[in-house]
Amino acid sequence: MDQLAGGQLAHVFASCDATLAKTPFAVELAARWVLAPDPVRRACGYGLIYEASKFPAKKAPTEAFFLGHIQRIAATIDDEPEQVRLAMATALMGIGKRSAVLNQAALKVARAVGPIAFTSASGQCEPFDVAKHLDNERLRKKLSENRQ
């Protein structure tokens, strides 16, 4: 799988609760892939981080792992191609839904980055606004309940 190139099957393997995301080495692979020179692999790495953000607490990476990726996203998102920017934004959204601490860190980056415009087949999609997904009453309530 480390030979992934081209991107045709990237989505199938690295996102949407797919096979690779369920393996015991998915988090380790994600950490390597986000540093890869290939943008397809980087996008897949961030897809895996999004999937890891949905893991239950006992299986999830540490908060420090996620904070490190929030910092990496903040430092590099502006220089990435559209496909990677969208994968980073999705990872940021997932991470920001895990805890109040991660929400505040992810929301700060999402606000700084702003909505991410992207090319769609229909040409009618609005830019992806991660901050909208991380700053709402329902999520605030969920995160405050999880603290108790």
Q: Could you tell me if 52 and 24 are in contact, meaning their C-beta atoms sit under 8 angstroms apart?
A: no
The pLDDT, as a whole number, for residue 28 is 92
Percent helix, strand and coil across the chain, each rounded to 5? 60, 0, 35
Q: What is the pLDDT of residue 121?
A: 72
d(CA 6, CA 115): 27
pLDDT tens digit sequence for 44-78: 899 999 999 999 989 899 999 999 999 999 999 99
pLDDT at position 101 over 90? yes
Residues in the chain: 148
Which has the higher per-residue pLDDT, 14 or 114? 114
CB 66 within 8 A of CB 102: yes
Least confident of 21-25, 83-87, 135-139: 21-25
Whole-model pTM over 0.85: yes
Q: How far apart are CA 133 and CA 93, in angstroms?
A: 7
Indicate the domain borders of the chain: 10-147
